[in-house]
Structure 1
Amino acid sequence: MSSSTPVARRVRTLALPLGVLTIAFLAVALPPYLGLDPAQARLAVPEDVPWFYPALVAHIGFGSIALLTASLQVWPWLRRTHPAVHRWSGRAYLALGVLPGGVAVLAVAPFAQTGGATGQVANTMLALLWLGTAVAGYRAARARRFDQHREWMVRSVALTFSIVANRPWSMLCIAVFAPEVMSGGPVDPAALAQAVGVSMWLSWVVNLLVAEYWLNRTRNRRGRRQVPAAGDRRPAAVAT
């Protein structure tokens, strides 16, 4: 085996592309909120909900921490060779990312005007699942059920990156349901709200389905490795 194999294994991971994607996404998404000016927000801020903008900014800040630490959580080499770093980044992911970020979504989602009722329900469901999968993963780790911990964290990370997936889904749904936005013609607010609401559902449902498909494949591969070949099987002893 060549000496370059360990290096190749470190590089062959989702951590690197996810990390690059996260940095690129945050470089575009964060600037409108750094000045704490509600007029610069990408979402419409209801004037009759005073906590909406502070909760939105809190979600964006904590969600950014979740995105950055999620990239470390899916790095197998880091988990194997530096378990302390894996544990501490996991604690940051939960305590400084998902938990406060998810609670902030629950404060924002029912009052968000963009996406209408469809988007409100989609983001509320996302927040509940985001919180639930992360807590389930933490509890599994505390109980030393590491296979279950891994599966729950894969689901949690898939939900974390739904905000990134929402950008291309939004463009696709707008092109389908409200093409006037791209052509510069008069826009039907109901059609635009429908497009945004559908994209909110797709952004996390598709991510979660892909995660479940991947988990099922890895379970099947693990099961095949554990089943002995036919020539290796030995006849059971006959009781006398």
Structure 2
Amino acid sequence: MFKKVSIRLVVSFLAFVLLAYVIMQYGFADPHKAGLITQKLRKPDFHYSPWIYVLYLHIVSACLAVAIGPFQLFIQPKRKGIRRHRILGYTYVLSITASGLISIYLSIFATGGWMAGLGFFVLDVLWVLSTWVAVRKAVNKQIQAHREWMLRSYALTLAAVTFRVWLITLTPLFGGPLEPPYRLSAWMCWIGNLIFIEVLIRLSRKKAVSKSLTA
């Protein structure tokens, strides 16, 4: 029980931190001063428009998914809350679908070049795919499988958080240009999340089997 509460608190905290950072950086501060944008503006062939408008669409839709995730994953819907759960679920799925498709465009202009762009592209494909697999499981009344695939989906949603964690951690280690740690972070941000959530899912399955055998 303590472990579940701890995971919920950590995930909710990470989601809150990301939302606060995005609102401050892109809502109140000058977006031109954002670290990743300043790197792009140094390149003479970079076109700020329409890239910045696509970025804002991605930010809004992705942040919506980040905000909805904890309510869907950690609050078990009661009979009266099923309708709200479904509405939030539809919003979550549409947000990820829109953000994932938009991100394909953004991955073409990734700071780390094609290697970073490929990392983000694979993330986008897996993000949208895992979310729609979860939807299919729900339609087929496979509730446990639906929950597991939603956990994978949200793990990929939080790649927005872990990407920045990896980038902050790796940049001093490389001690040079931003591109090398950026490329590595573009892959590690979602690979690490998937490994972590897969371990949790499998541990949860084993625990469920143990309970059924001892019951």
Normalised to the residue count of structure 1, the TM-score between the two structures is: 0.77
Deviation sequence 1:131-190 (CA, Å, 0-9, x none): 000010011111111111111101000000011111221122112222xxxxxxxx4x3x
- What residue is the counterpart of 1:184 in the other structure? none
Please say if residues 158 and 211 of structure 1, whose CA atoms lie closer than 8 Å, have aligned partners that are also in contact.
Answer: yes
- What residue is the counterpart of 2:83 in the other structure? 84
Q: Cα–Cα, structure 1 residues 100 and 36, in superposed 2: closer, same or farther, change >3 Å?
A: farther
- Say which is worse superposed, 35-44 or 83-92, in terms of deviation: 35-44
Please say if residues 119 and 198 of structure 1, whose CA atoms lie closer than 8 Å, have aligned partners that are also in contact.
Answer: yes
Q: Tell me, yes or no, if structure 1 residue 128 matches structure 2 residue 121.
A: no
- What residue is the counterpart of 2:98 in the other structure? 100
- What residue is the counterpart of 1:215 in the other structure? 201
1:51 CA displacement: 3.4
Deviation sequence 1:178-232 (CA, Å, 0-9, x none): 2xxxxxxxx4x3xx21111101211110000001111111111112222357xxx
Deviation sequence 1:2-61 (CA, Å, 0-9, x none): xxxxxx99x936444433332222222233333797634533266347432221111101
C-alpha separation between the residues in 1 aligned to 2:32 and 2:90? 34
- What residue is the counterpart of 1:203 in the other structure? 189
Please say if residues 13 and 75 of structure 1, whose CA atoms lie closer than 8 Å, have aligned partners that are also in contact.
Answer: no
Give the letter aligned to residue 195 of structure 1: P
- What residue is the counterpart of 1:109 in the other structure? 107
- What residue is the counterpart of 2:63 in the other structure? 64
C-alpha separation between the residues in 2 aligned to 1:83 and 1:15? 21
Give the letter aligned to residue 204 of structure 2: T
Q: Cα–Cα, structure 1 residues 28 and 162, in superposed 2: closer, same or farther, change >3 Å?
A: same
Please say if residues 66 and 98 of structure 1, whose CA atoms lie closer than 8 Å, have aligned partners that are also in contact.
Answer: yes
**Cα RMSD for the two superposed structures:** 2.5
C-alpha separation between the residues in 1 aligned to 2:171 and 2:47? 28
Match of 2:22 among 22, 29, 49: 29
1:162-177 pair list within 5 angstroms = 162-177=159-174
Of structures 1 and 2, the larger Rg is shown by 1
Please say if residues 33 and 40 of structure 1, whose CA atoms lie closer than 8 Å, have aligned partners that are also in contact.
Answer: no
Give the letter aligned to residue 219 of structure 1: R
Higher helix share: 2
Please say if residues 69 and 93 of structure 1, whose CA atoms lie closer than 8 Å, have aligned partners that are also in contact.
Answer: yes
Give the letter aligned to residue 104 of structure 1: I
Report SS of the residue matched to 2:58: helix
Give the letter aligned to residue 134 of structure 1: T
List alignment gaps of at least 5 residues for structure 1. Answer: 1-7, 179-186, 230-240
Normalised to the residue count of structure 2, the TM-score between the two structures is: 0.85
Please say if residues 130 and 159 of structure 1, whose CA atoms lie closer than 8 Å, have aligned partners that are also in contact.
Answer: yes
Q: Cα–Cα, structure 1 residues 170 and 120, in superposed 2: closer, same or farther, change >3 Å?
A: same
Report SS of the residue matched to 1:124: helix
Q: Cα–Cα, structure 1 residues 13 and 141, in superposed 2: closer, same or farther, change >3 Å?
A: farther
Please say if residues 15 and 72 of structure 1, whose CA atoms lie closer than 8 Å, have aligned partners that are also in contact.
Answer: no
Please say if residues 137 and 152 of structure 1, whose CA atoms lie closer than 8 Å, have aligned partners that are also in contact.
Answer: yes
Q: Tell me, yes or no, if structure 1 residue 138 matches structure 2 residue 131.
A: no
Q: Cα–Cα, structure 1 residues 36 and 91, in superposed 2: closer, same or farther, change >3 Å?
A: farther
C-alpha separation between the residues in 2 aligned to 1:110 and 1:130? 17
